[in-house]
Amino acid sequence: MNLFPELQKAYTDDKYTAREAQKMAEFIAFGPVVFQVAGIMLKRGILDLLRDNPGGMTCEELVKATGMSKYAINVLTDSALTIGIIIVDAKNDRFALSKVGMVLLIDPSIRINMNFNNDVNYEGFFHLEEALDQGKPAGLKHFGDWPTIYEGLSQLPPKVQKSWFDFDHFYSDNSFNQALEIVFKHHKTRSLFDVGGNTGRWAELCVGYDDKVEVTILDLPQQLEMMHKAVAGKKGSERIKGHAIDMLDRNEEFPLDPQLDAIWMSQFLDCFGEDEIVSILSRAADAMNDSTRIYIMETLWDRQKYPTAAFCLTQISLYFTAMANGNSKMYHSDQMTELVERSGLQVERIYDGLGWGHSMMVCKKNN
């Protein structure tokens, strides 16, 4: 298995002592409790209070400031102390924020991930084993009767929908500026297909970046409806079109454009299983000419600079299992390369380190 250097060091040796291994195993056993306690400490403003009072706060002061009972503060601070979210001055029983607590409080990715797991995944993950056995998103029934979450996005409860889109946009948006440079400066692009364009954020950036580019978003009809509402009246929106297509229907072909320069797929192929990816890419290849390039931007877990990022991505894979579609994941670059080649394409170049850990595969037809 090919891994970036830091991941190679992290995942090829059993680094824990026996005592550390036991601690980690117990942390896993009580993982749901840890998650809930941290979430409540954030939601109720306890971590904010401790940050704003660098001298620390007693249990009584926290009771007064939060309006919670002494019992509630007691059990939360006992738990948070042993989790490592807070520390205590044992001489005067004053609690203060730890480094872990500060990261929970100020790192935007932590809040995004916690909301996504709490609002979108948590209850559905009770059906993870069922999803693994069936190859279907068994946890999705918590929200509705859809074959995948994508058909139901527009119908999810507002809080759940917000957490889903916040999660989706947070990671992609941080990569888009660098991606624009690659798509438009390294390669002349006038006609672009945005596959799985969601609310049209990438398309908006494209028409804003280059006043000659025409973008066609290929997506489900309900997604296109959301997109049209999102881009209506914005500058360049007249150069954004929609083409309804169900990518899971292997009989639905990409539209033909003899001048097609680019096919853009951002955080898209991870929404499909391997055979589905080959079907999608094969149909994309049929729509390409020799100068067309496919840009596949994904968070490939093996090409991350730090183990923390690889950890997050491999856990996110289980969201796809339980909630999204039952058969996709965050892919290893070797897997994605194999699927590209099975589709009659070849990887021309890979750009790494875009935004929060994205990689971009630039692919051409294998003539």
Region 37-42: mean pLDDT is 98
Q: What is the pLDDT of residues 130-143, one digit of tens each?
A: 999 999 999 999 99
Determine the Cα–Cα distance for residues 301 and 311; give it in Å rounded to an integer. Answer: 8
Do 184 and 208 touch, CB atoms closer than 8 A?
A: no
Select from 126, 150, 152 the least CA-distant residue to 138. Answer: 126
Residues β-bridged to residue 364: 346
Q: List the structure tokens of 35.
A: 């998650």
* Burial status of residue 263 (CB atoms within 10 A of its CB: 0-12, 13-18, 19 or more): buried
Q: What is the pLDDT of residues 162-175, one digit of tens each?
A: 999 999 888 877 88
Region 99-124: mean pLDDT is 97
Do 363 and 337 touch, CB atoms closer than 8 A?
A: no
Q: What is the pLDDT of residues 273-320, one digit of tens each?
A: 999 999 999 999 999 999 999 999 999 999 999 999 999 999 999 999
Residues β-bridged to residue 192: 215, 262
Top-level class of domain 109-365 = alpha beta
Do 274 and 283 touch, CB atoms closer than 8 A?
A: no
Determine the pLDDT at residue 81: 98
pTM of the model: 0.90
Contacts of residue 169, defined as CB under 8 A and 6 or more positions apart, other chains included, come to 201
Domain boundaries in the chain? Answer: 5-106, 109-365
Select from 76, 82, 78 the least CA-distant residue to 39. Answer: 76
The CATH architecture annotation of domain 5-106 reads Orthogonal Bundle (1.10)
Do 200 and 165 touch, CB atoms closer than 8 A?
A: no
Residue 367: is its pLDDT beyond 80?
A: no
Contacts of residue 232, defined as CB under 8 A and 6 or more positions apart, other chains included, come to none
Q: What is the pLDDT of residues 330-358, one digit of tens each?
A: 999 999 999 999 999 999 999 999 998 99
